[in-house]
Structure formats: C-alpha cells, structure tokens
C-alpha cells in the first residue's frame, strides 16, 4: 500500500504532527514517566507551534544553531520538534557531558541559544556568544509558559537539503567534528525504518536511551511520530530498572531499544513472566551484540533480540526483524530499502558474498558532511559510498554480518569513545610524558577503558590522582577504569 504521508507531500517530520492532530487529536503521543504527565497529538502540535512563535521573540532565524542540554523529557522532544518545524538547526548535547565538555562544545559550535536544565546547570559560566535559557521541568512550568504564545504558526519554506540537526561525534580537540543531518536525510530514512520493522500506529515505544543520540530518535521518536504511535519517556534506564518490566506491562509497550549493557542487566534482575505480554521482541544496538548474550536473553524472557546496526552519519542501515519467517540470529540483517550497501576492499571495489571487507553505504539517508571540519567527510567516501570503518561480510542470501571495527574506537556501555581524546587530556597533565588508551573486553560494559602512562622524570602522580584529574574534564562514561603507570611505551603519543 502506498505511503499516505509521502503521497500528501510530507517533507518534514513535524508535518506528521499536523496530520495526526487532525486525524487522531485525542490520542496520546508523549508521556513523561518522570513528570507523570502526557500530551495528545493535538496538544503537542499546538505547543510546537507556540514554541516556534517563542523562537520568533528570541530573534531566531532559519538556519541559526540552537542547542539543548536536557534529560529525556517532554521539553526535550517539543523543543527538538519545534526547531525542525521552524528551520533552525538543533544540536543536542549529551546529558552525560561533564561541565568541561559542555563548555568545549559550546565554544566550538557557538549556538545562538542553549536551553539548559536548571538543576543540571550548577554554576555554569555565561558565554558571550550564546544566550543560556534555563528550563524548570517541574509541574510543566515551561509548557505553561509556552501556552502564552499563539498556537498557530506558518513555517517558512524549508528545502529538503537544508540542515535539520547536528549530532555530537566522538573525536579529539585536534579533529573536532559534528555530524550534519538534513531534512531530506530524516524523511528518506524514517519511512524506510518503518517499512523494515513494520512499525504502525498501534505501537507504543518506551525510550530509555538518551535522546541527544540519534538512535532513540530514529528508532522511536521519529518513527512513532511518522506512524501516529505513542512514546513513553524515561529519563534513563537506570532510574527505572527495578520497575522496567512493570512499566512495560502497565503501558503495554510494543517496542524498546536498549544497548548490550542493559540486556546484560535485565538478565540479572528479577521479573514476573506475567508482565511480559505486549513486547514481541526487543531491539539492541549502539555496540556489538554477542550471539551468546542474544541467546541468553531469548532463553530467559522468551523474547528474541533484534541486532540493530547503523551509524550517526547514516542512521539505521539494516533491518534485523526477529518476527520475519527467515530471520537469522547472529546477523545484522539485510539492507533497509533506502540503502545500497556493499562490502568493499581498500580500493572501493565490491567484494563477492562470503568475502570480508569494509561495510560501505549509499543512500539518501547518508549525511551531507561534518560541521567544524568540512573536508573531513571526503576521507570516508570511496566511489560514492560512505565507508563505515566496520568490517563485515554478506552471505549469498543478502544477510550482513559484523565482524570487527576498523576505526580505533572504544564502545563502553553503547557510547563511542575516541582513545585519542583521553590521550590528549592525559598529555596535558604536567606529570605525564607518554600515554596510550585501549579498550579491554568486559561482559557488562562491552569494553572498559585502560590507559598506560609514562610519568615525567621526578613526578610522583599515582593512578588515583590521574583518574581524579580525568574525572574533572571528562563525562563519567569516558573516565578510565584503569591507569597503569609503566616505565616505557614505544611509538605512542608523547608530550610535545
């Protein structure tokens, strides 16, 4: 059946709000567990219009950069959707950022406005080029303030190729970058994800992953919005872990995406089988999923696990649907219909099935480039295909397999961490002469962070002091788990 939204000319994901505000005005779209408060499609559409008019009073223009530093919340979703409708570029900062990392990104990107959670801001210093607006989510005070503004808004003409949002990417201060994503990227990707995973208007998604990362947006917020489904928001998995299955039961959750660390945790938490009735499977992504953990979860809960694969630069690229008749456990599935995916060699030549090479992607979902470093993206394209930096192969039936990473990244708890970012920080410490950071396999986090350090002559710093130093500048997920002080390291970063 043809996609009604595409036929109606829906070229902006927020147009879905208008469609469902008219067709199903009283259906709940967003419910915030932390606030115990929800909004219908009609209410959300009106509030998004009101926030757009609020943006006008702030002097924002189409193309201006706007940032948010908020927990998963109604406010986060509505500000993001309002930005997409208004035509500003939304750059969400991960809520795990340390204050030093947040300042660094603000100094780099220079947004016109930063919406910050009041209780998270602490003694954050003002910056001359950005206006900081503090949001108090208690008792929906921000939402009530927005209701003062006109709830009708006529958006400027927004072209498909215009940038819709910008995502933080793991990198170093020497090679800063942000991942640009256009309106066209979103509207090419989301219908394809819906087709691949058979998402529909009856779906109720539980979001526990941070909305500042693209996975929760692409698999849940945007797909539920596109199909007229419902979103249940948790500020994090860790705050609801003891109520997780009860929440799934109470709200009749049909879909949730997690990371392997959460799967591992769920396998070791008590549960009642009577609470697992609405979920047919669970999605797991953002880090490699072992077949052993996949099978353990399925045996424990009688729920299969979809092995989700994609990058921020592309969004989801494959569909691994456990309810398909020919589903193959252990693969990352087949290519979404928006993609042309190949396994290539070093020269960019396509390899035949069964041969291992780099996973390369082409399609209208592929990002247009990096911010702050416009030339960087050219390094990652060969013959028109985006090179993911991941190694895999394809079998004769079109199923893809992930083998390893070509890129030098550590994935800890589903978060990408660039080792050089930690090396650079350690080398700024007056007592460190050389440093190297590596990932160490771990059943729970996937990988732990281990550093080897050579001290400058005469320095008496110990592991505890160096970890404390890292903790001041890095978000907790990036702080090394172990620092080994060694007498010598060859061919690794040294102080300039």
Q: Which residue has the higher pLDDT, 329 or 47?
A: 47
Residue 41 included in any domain: yes
Mean pLDDT (whole number) for 142-167: 92
Average pLDDT over the chain, rounded to whole? 89
**What is the per-residue pLDDT for 492?**
62
Confidence band of 377 (pLDDT split at 50, 70, 90): confident
Which CATH number do you get for residue 92? 3.40.50.12780
Q: Is residue 396 part of a domain?
A: no
Asked whether the predicted pLDDT for residue 215 surpasses 90, the reply is yes
- Here the CATH number for the domain that contains residue 441 is 3.30.300.30
Burial class (CB in 10 A: 0-12, 13-18, 19+), 331: buried
Whether the pLDDT of residue 332 is over 80: the answer is: yes
Domain termination site, one of 214, 236, 258: 236
C-alpha span between 281 and 285 (Å, rounded): 13
> Is 438 part of any domain?
yes
**pLDDT band at 119; cut points 50, 70, 90:** low
Give one word for 240, left, alpha or beta, with left for phi > 0 and alpha for psi -120 to 50: alpha
Structure confidence by residue, pLDDT tens digits, 416-475? 888 888 988 898 899 999 899 988 988 888 889 999 999 998 888 999 999 999 998 888
Spatial distance between the Cα atoms of 308 and 255, rounded to a whole number of angstroms: 13
Instruction: Specify the pLDDT at position 230.
Output: 98
Assigned domain for 401 exists: no
pLDDT of residue 200: 96
- Which domain does 444 fall in, by range? 410-485
Domain boundary pick from 194, 218, 236: 236
**Higher pLDDT, residue 141 or 493:** 141
Residue 231 lies in a domain: yes
List the beta strands (DSSP E) in 139-227.
163-168, 178-182, 204-207
Q: Is residue 21 part of a domain?
A: yes
Q: Who's near 354: CB < 8 A, 6+ residues apart?
A: 393, 394, 395, 396
Tell me the sheet residues that pair with 30.
39, 231
For residue 2, what pLDDT is reported? 45
* Average pLDDT score over residue span 249-278: 91
| pLDDT band at residue 286 using 50, 70 and 90 as cut-offs | confident
* Range list of H helices, 384-462: 419-428
Number of domains in the chain: 2
The answer to whether the beta carbons of residues 271 and 279 sit under 8 Å apart is no
- CA 303 to CA 280: how far, in whole Å? 6
Do residues 91 and 166 touch, judged by C-beta distance below 8 A?
yes
Does 181 reside within a domain?
Answer: yes
Which of the pair, 332 or 178, is modelled with greater confidence?
A: 332
Convert 129-140 to b/e letters by CB count within 10 Å (16 or more is b).
ebebbebebeeb
Q: Is residue 207 part of a domain?
A: yes
End of a domain among 236, 255, 288? 236
pLDDT: which is higher, 141 or 219: 219
Helix (H) or strand (E) holding 404, with range, is: strand 400-405
């Amino acid at each position: 059946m043809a996609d009604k939204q595409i036929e109606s000319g829906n070229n902006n994901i927020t147009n879905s709000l208008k469609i469902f505000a008219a067709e199903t005005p009283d259906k709940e779209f967003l419910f915030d567990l932390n606030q115990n408060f929800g909004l219908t499609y009609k209410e959300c559409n009106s509030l998004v219009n009101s926030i757009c008019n609020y943006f006008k009073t702030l002097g924002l223009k189409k193309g201006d950069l706007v940032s948010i530093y908020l927990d998963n919340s109604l406010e986060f979703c509505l500000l993001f959707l309002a930005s997409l409708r208004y035509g500003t570029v939304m750059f969400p900062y991960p809520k795990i950022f340390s204050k030093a990392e947040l300042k660094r990104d603000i100094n780099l990107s220079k947004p016109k406005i930063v919406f910050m959670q009041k209780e998270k801001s602490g003694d954050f210093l003002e910056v001359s080029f950005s206006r900081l607006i503090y949001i108090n989510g208690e008792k929906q005070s921000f939402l009530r303030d927005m209701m003062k503004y006109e709830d009708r808004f006529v958006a400027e003409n927004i072209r498909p190729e215009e940038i819709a949002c910008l995502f933080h990417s793991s990198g170093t201060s020497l090679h800063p970058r942000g991942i640009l994503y256009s309106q066209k990227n979103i509207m090419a990707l989301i219908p394809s994800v819906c087709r691949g995973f058979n998402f529909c208007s009856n779906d109720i998604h539980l979001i526990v992953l941070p909305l500042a990362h693209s996975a929760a947006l692409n698999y849940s917020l945007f797909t539920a919005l596109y199909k007229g489904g419902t979103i249940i928001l948790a500020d994090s998995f860790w705050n609801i872990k003891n109520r997780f299955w009860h929440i799934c039961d109470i709200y009749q959750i049909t879909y949730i995406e997690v990371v392997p660390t959460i799967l591992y945790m769920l396998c070791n938490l008590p549960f009642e089988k009577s609470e697992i009735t609405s979920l047919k499977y669970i999605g797991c992504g953002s880090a490699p999923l072992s077949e052993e953990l996949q099978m353990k979860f399925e045996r424990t809960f009688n729920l299969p696990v979809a092995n989700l694969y994609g990058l921020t630069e592309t969004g989801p690229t494959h569909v691994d649907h456990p309810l398909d008749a020919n589903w193959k456990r252990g693969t990352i599935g087949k290519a979404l219909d928006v993609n042309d995916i190949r396994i290539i060699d070093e020269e960019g030549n396509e390899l035949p099935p069964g041969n291992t090479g780099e996973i390369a992607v082409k399609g209208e979902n592929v990002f247009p480039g990096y911010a702050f470093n416009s030339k960087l993206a050219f390094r990652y394209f060969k013959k028109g295909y985006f090179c993911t930096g991941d190694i895999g192969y394809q079998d004769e039936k079109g199923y893809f397999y992930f083998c390893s990473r070509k890129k030098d990244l550590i994935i800890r708890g589903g978060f990408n961490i660039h080792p050089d970012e930690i090396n650079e920080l350690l080398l700024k410490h007056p007592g460190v002469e050389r440093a190297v950071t590596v990932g160490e396999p771990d059943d729970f986090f996937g990988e732990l962070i281990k550093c080897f350090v050579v001290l400058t002559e005469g320095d008496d710093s110990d592991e505890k002091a160096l970890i404390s130093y890292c903790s001041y500048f890095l978000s907790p997920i990036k702080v090394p788990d172990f620092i080994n002080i060694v007498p010598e390291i060859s061919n690794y970063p040294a102080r300039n």
